[in-house]
Structure 1
């Protein structure tokens, strides 16, 4: 590779000076909850689908920020949190958390159903959670660390996504983990299997999320993607000029 080409490639792969990935701190908790709600509907605010932002953030982020904060990272831009990666190395602890906490969330939702009262879109979402949601979760390997990443629009780029994931993968490898999986949403032409293969992930399973049928014309799928860290401990396995132009998984 010629010297000028190598320099150009290194500049393209580098994280912008204004962006940095770091591990979670207690003061990041509210920012993570806000971003979770602001990106909960296919990268947009969850409000049209589910109005109870507090309950939504509790279900999706409380374990990671309160029970296993050491496995969570944030992405900062000019000192502001613009994205996060929630990770888990302790699946049994997470299972116990949801076993104990989910009934509490259920009774909160039941009370607010009548006390607020919830509008029709929120009630439809809750009916999906109770009747269909558990059947539409794709297969995930047991006992394997996992992660989920959410980014605000201004941070949805290759550099910030790579910085978060590479830092998390390095953390897993240093902790002796051998593999990792994530669950990401795909629809239309967003994120094909070829993109996951380029990142070194393999698609294990995918299921359609019917909760979005009233809002999106094309089917929306939740995919489980898995990566062998022994073979490839970074987001990119080798240097290549061919990079995806967009990145960032949404819930």
Structure 2
């Protein structure tokens, strides 16, 4: 898939930040799995990288690819931002798609390691309780970048390009769900970027592998007040 009309690639050094193309799909899935455990590979927590990537990225790459961006470096995808403007379409997609994922996980369950089984138990019994409320009518986004390519300027550049896209589409606000490791620092950090924290929940799925507290925060930004990202600190990659 080519760039949407009016979109241009934005380049900083050896890294290109651009809108998603169909050939980027496997690269996005790989980055998703390679950053799934608090910015590190998901494998110690859940071994089924295919199922993990399907759950988290397939709607964005397959049904609303025009709202996804990628970071490309040295000929490969090293980061992405997945976005959604059509909550109803996403809800309908997951209503059916997640049933298929559940059946696949059920068939593979006897062959999973204990850590993977614990992850599935958390997903089924605790995941919904440890998810902060969202704003269904507001576009949302999520991003991940591999560690060697993470930087303040690159993160800001990618989010600004997405915010520009939303403004051109007539959207007036955007929200996201971002992982933080310190509640106080996280909220101050979001405020620097013009985001307001509307809900947070402590996430326990990494409790046996991460010593500190992990929170998932829902943040919202009014694009009418400021349609750009700003501040001096980077948002934490999940």
The reply to whether TM is greater than 0.5 is yes
Match of 1:163 in 2: 157
Q: CA RMSD in A?
A: 1.6
Could you tell me which runs of 5 or more consecutive residues in structure 2 were left unpaired when the two chains were aligned: 1-9
Which string of whole-angstrom CA distances, capped at 9 and with x for unpartnered residues, describes residues 105-155 of structure 1? 0000000012xx101000000000110101111011121100000000112
Q: 8 Å contact 1:201–1:225 — kept in the other structure? A: yes
Which string of whole-angstrom CA distances, capped at 9 and with x for unpartnered residues, describes residues 153-182 of structure 1? 112101110111001000000000000000
Q: 8 Å contact 1:15–1:163 — kept in the other structure? A: no
CA drift of 1:235 comes to: 0.5
Q: Which has the larger radius of gyration?
A: 1
Q: Are positions 1:104 and 2:103 aligned together?
A: no
Q: Which of 4, 13, 20 in structure 2 is aligned with 1:17?
A: 13
What secondary structure does 1:183 align onto?
Answer: strand
Which string of whole-angstrom CA distances, capped at 9 and with x for unpartnered residues, describes residues 211-247 of structure 1? 11111111111000100000010011xxxxx612x44
Q: Are positions 1:124 and 2:118 aligned together?
A: yes
What secondary structure does 1:40 align onto?
Answer: coil
TM-score (norm 1): 0.88
Q: Equivalents in 2 of 1:83, 1:139: separation in Å?
A: 26
Could you tell me which runs of 5 or more consecutive residues in structure 1 were left unpaired when the two chains were aligned: 1-13, 237-241
What secondary structure does 1:134 align onto?
Answer: coil
* Equivalent residues in 2 for 1:1-251, closer than 5 Å: 16-114=12-110, 117-188=111-182, 192-236=186-230, 243-244=232-233, 246-250=234-238
What secondary structure does 1:207 align onto?
Answer: strand
What secondary structure does 2:153 align onto?
Answer: helix
In the alignment of these two chains, the number of paired residues is 229
TM-score (norm 2): 0.92
What secondary structure does 1:143 align onto?
Answer: coil
Q: Equivalents in 2 of 1:204, 1:197: separation in Å?
A: 12
Match of 1:8 in 2: none
Q: Equivalents in 2 of 1:191, 1:60: separation in Å?
A: 26
